[in-house]
Amino acid sequence: MRGRWHNGSDKWSSINQIVKDQKLGVLALQETHLSKEDETILNSTPGLRIHVKSSIDPAHTNAKGVAIVMNKNLVNTSGVKTHDLIPGRALLVIIPWRKDDSLRILAIYAPNDPQTNQYFWDHVHSKLRGLPKPDIMLGDFNLVEDALDRLPPKQDSQGATLKLNELKTQLRLRDGWRSEHPDLLQFTFAQSAHQGGRQSRIDRIYIKDELLPFSREWTISAPGIHTDHQLISARISSKKMPFVGTGRWSLPLFILKNKKLGEDVIELGKILQQEIQSSSETRTNDANPQVAFKNFKDSAINICRSTAKKLVPMKKNKLQSQLRATTNDPTLQDEDKRIACIVLQE
């Protein structure tokens, strides 16, 4: 998150909108710099549909910090329990899920220093003793388990990687995105060109083995706020949860700016006007203003739906395809990959 503010703009307003628009139930954030006073203010701000549980290191309030953001439209926030394992670094949140079930989520912001990172995982394990084991562990781990998850490829500290693996084994957790995409290269963090342009997949979601079959739609995408990290997301369902459909369709406001769409709707309006004028002279059950207006609405909705399906997803998919093709192109040198990926992500 890199703190709350960017050019005078409050990122929490953007986060509230992202959670709402993307229908995210739970969002984990790192480097929040959020005090307990600010957390209380956020949770009582009218209009915000998010509920925040955060952890801050009182000795370093302008650094570190982790938070779990819950969508109040989708999550029961009244019975949430928290365990602040390591202030500013590790926060365990227990969320009521389905009937008597709960979802235990461990948010992580691991230290960047390799030696400190190595000791960190033992510290987390010791703090978890006597507490419910997490179903999900997610966040910024500041290390990769495989050299190919860095560009250029580079193996991280063996000691830190070993300690993380020990914790994963004890908690029976697995890298969900890698399980879904075993042969794909994609990164969640990118330095600027000035910093060297290195990239890595240091942000991950680990999930319990028994929950993995009930997860899908593992993706890495742009987050929608000013940060140098990508958003990794997944849809995770309870084994007891019934099937839920997509809901009622509504018009995405962004397509109203599309020129061709506007022209098409105007043409439909002209046809509607002609049909209304004609039906006023020879009105029948099949030719009258009410039927004409219904046909106009149905045609306009169909055009809007068709346009919405083509615009942003088309551009987004094209860029993501180019990014995947570039990162997985064996004919490109690492330096060429690095430069090309920077351009595509920006």
DSSP 192-213: -TTTT--EE--EEEEEETTTGG
One-letter amino acid at 57 equals: D
SS3 of residue 129 by DSSP:
coil
Token pair listed for 125: 């394990």
End-to-end CA distance of the chain: 17
Per-residue pLDDT of the chain (346 residues; tens, 9 = 90+): 677 767 777 788 888 888 988 899 999 999 998 889 999 999 998 888 999 999 999 888 888 899 999 999 999 998 899 999 999 999 999 999 877 789 999 999 999 999 999 999 999 999 999 999 999 999 999 999 999 999 999 999 999 999 999 999 999 999 999 999 999 999 999 888 888 889 999 999 999 999 999 999 999 998 878 788 999 999 998 877 666 666 777 777 777 888 999 999 999 999 999 989 888 778 888 889 999 999 999 999 999 888 888 876 776 777 778 877 887 888 888 777 777 766 666 5
**In angstroms, rounded to a whole number, what is the distance separating the alpha carbons of residues 52 and 72?**
10
Are 66 and 32 in contact by the 8 Å Cβ rule? The answer is yes
A 10 A CB-CB count for 96 gives 16
Interatomic CA distance for residues 221 and 94, integer angstroms:
26
The confidence score (pLDDT) of residue 243 equals 65
- Tokens representing residue 249 in the block: 């369709």
d(CA 68, CA 51): 8
Cβ-contact 68, 26 below 8 angstroms: yes
Nearest by Cα to 201 from 157, 154, 150, 155 = 150
Length of the chain: 346
Nearest to 108 by CA among 204, 189, 21, 192: 204
Nearest to 26 by CA among 88, 73, 75: 75
